[in-house]
Amino acid sequence: MRRRDFITLVGGGAAAWPFAARAQQPPMAVVGFLSGRAREESADDAAAFRQGLNEMGYVTGRDVALQYRWSEGQNERLPELAAELVRRQVAVIAAVGGNNSALAAKAATANIPIVFTSAADPVRIGLVASLNRPGGNVTGVSWFGSESLPKRLEILGELVPNIKLAVLLANPNSPELAENFQPLG
């Protein structure tokens, strides 16, 4: 092989290498964001979600794409919105804005991971099998579970040993509260 042919071959390969490398990169992950609330009502939640992804090293538009679905407070729309995300083949569904979004996502797929936030007991409402071992494709955070409240009060008593009264402000129509707590008065 002549020197000129060799340089042309190596130079052509070097020029083509970035294109080949780019072609081999995995496609951008798509995260579904399913909310039972209105877009305007959830603007802060969506911004915090993007910020959290960014803090973990995922930059929207570079590493991850977000697909938002808002039911605008119309829970009957959630099953179809969840089905849209499943058809879109998102990598994960973040179900926020009420328990109904997580329940709709769970009903729509048994394969795509679902991460939820809930103010209710996720075992009682049927999201997970147990708190220790959720099972399936659903996991998340419960902000207020009636079975964890006594433990929280115990920890509060340890942190503030002289506490005489603790007051809990919550929705009186919540089934979890009605079962476990009596209102003052």
111-125 pLDDT, tens digit per residue, is 999 999 887 888 888
Number of Cβ atoms within 10 Å of the Cβ of 158:
9
- Examine residue 12 and state whether it is found in any structural domain, yes or no: no
- Residues making up the chain, counted from first to last: 185
Residue 69 belongs to domain spanning: 29-142
Is the torsion defined by CA of 56, 60, 66, 68 positive or negative? positive
- Quote the pLDDT of residue 100: 93
How many other CB atoms are found less than 10 A from the CB of residue 176? 19
Q: What's 121's domain CATH number?
A: 3.40.50.2300
Task: State pLDDT tens for residues 57-105.
Answer: 999 999 999 999 999 999 999 999 999 999 999 999 999 988 899 999 9
Same domain, 48 and 105: yes
Q: Are residues 105 and 168 in the same domain?
A: no
What single DSSP character describes residue 117? E
Backbone φ and ψ for 65, nearest 5 degrees, come out as: -110, 145
Rounded CA-CA distance 147/61 in Å is: 40
